[in-house]
Structure 1
Amino acid sequence: MAVNATAATAGHNATGTPLPAVDIGSSVLVTLGYLCLLLGVIFLAYWLLRRLGVQGMGVRSGNGAPRLLTRLMLGNRQSVAVVRYRDKDMVLGVTEERVTLLREFEADDAAEEAPADTGFARLLKRKTDEEGQG
């Protein structure tokens, strides 16, 4: 019985056959390699989904869905946004804590035909000019 206990401590199992040597350094490197590969695949999938413009789960699209027309960043987590929803253009103040309706306008089709680089200031000026005339 004492012979078996000393054999197990000397790198052998109870039957006397030698145990395989485990190189901890290579095991750690292999594990880190697989981890980096997995993180790379996740990052690549995320980048491809963002690049191809795939919409998130549950996001509605079409005429009735809210759509961001333009946005002006004011600070770290503060912005003013123009959103079109159900034939209304709404100017929203957006902070980390809440979203506040600042103004509401009737949607016009001219904004749809305008180029995408019209900018926030130009869109807001057009809306306020239309309100002053009407």
Structure 2
Amino acid sequence: MDNLLGTNASAVSPMNLPVADTGQTILVTLGYLCLLLGVIFLAYWLLRKLGFHGMSTQGGKAAPRLVSRLMLGNRQSVAVIRYRETDLVIGVTEERISLLKEFDADQSTNEEDPRPAPKTFAAILKRTKRNEEQG
């Protein structure tokens, strides 16, 4: 039959099949994937550690900063925001944000009171009430 097709059976070479993969390419691919994920997590950790908050936000004293927040209900809260040298007490609801009180911020200590500035919401309100009673 080979003579009918015009080919010689001895001249036909066997078909070369690809060598079976022993898993080396899979391991190399997984290694590169782990390396890439490690670099991504390292970059994320460094950006968080160095305090990079994005290109559009300004850091420092000019940026508003949340000092404390007290949740009153499901979607209601009272918050103290420090903007420049002023503390703003605001009420936040689902419909609106209202300015409740505005006062000068104590950076580290008060002249009459050598204790450090309060960090909790209740302490900030007590300090404000005490300052209003004195002044």
Is this a same-fold pair by TM over 0.5? Answer: yes
CA contact (8 A) 1:90 1:101 kept: no
Cα distance, 1:74 vs. partner? 7.2
CA contact (8 A) 2:67 2:119 kept: no
SS of corresponding position for 1:118 = coil
The match for 2:112 is none
The letter for the 2-side match of 1:58 is: S
Structure 2 residue 80 is matched with structure 1 residue 82: yes
The letter for the 2-side match of 1:35 is: L
RMSD: 4.0
1:116/1:41 Cα in 2 relative to 1: closer, same or farther (>3 Å)? farther
Mapped partners of 2:28, 2:71: distance in 1 = 45
Map Cα deviations across residues 32-57 of structure 1 (whole Å, 9 max, x no partner).
12111111111112112212223421
1:84/1:128 Cα in 2 relative to 1: closer, same or farther (>3 Å)? same
Identical-residue share of aligned pairs (%): 54
The match for 1:35 is 33
CA contact (8 A) 2:118 2:124 kept: no
1:48 to 18, 25, 46: 46
Cα distance, 1:73 vs. partner? 6.4
SS of corresponding position for 1:101 = strand
User: For residues 56-67 of structure 1, what are the structure 2 equivalents within 5 Å?
Assistant: 56-67=54-65
Structure 2 residue 105 is matched with structure 1 residue 105: no
CA contact (8 A) 1:69 1:82 kept: yes
Mapped partners of 2:100, 2:124: distance in 1 = 13
Structure 2: which 5+ residue stretches go unaligned?
A: 110-115
CA contact (8 A) 1:65 1:86 kept: yes
Aligned length: 122
Please identify which structure carries the higher helix content.
1
1:87/1:45 Cα in 2 relative to 1: closer, same or farther (>3 Å)? same
Mapped partners of 1:129, 1:104: distance in 2 = 14
1:28/1:130 Cα in 2 relative to 1: closer, same or farther (>3 Å)? same
| Stretch moving more, 117-126 or 28-37 | 117-126
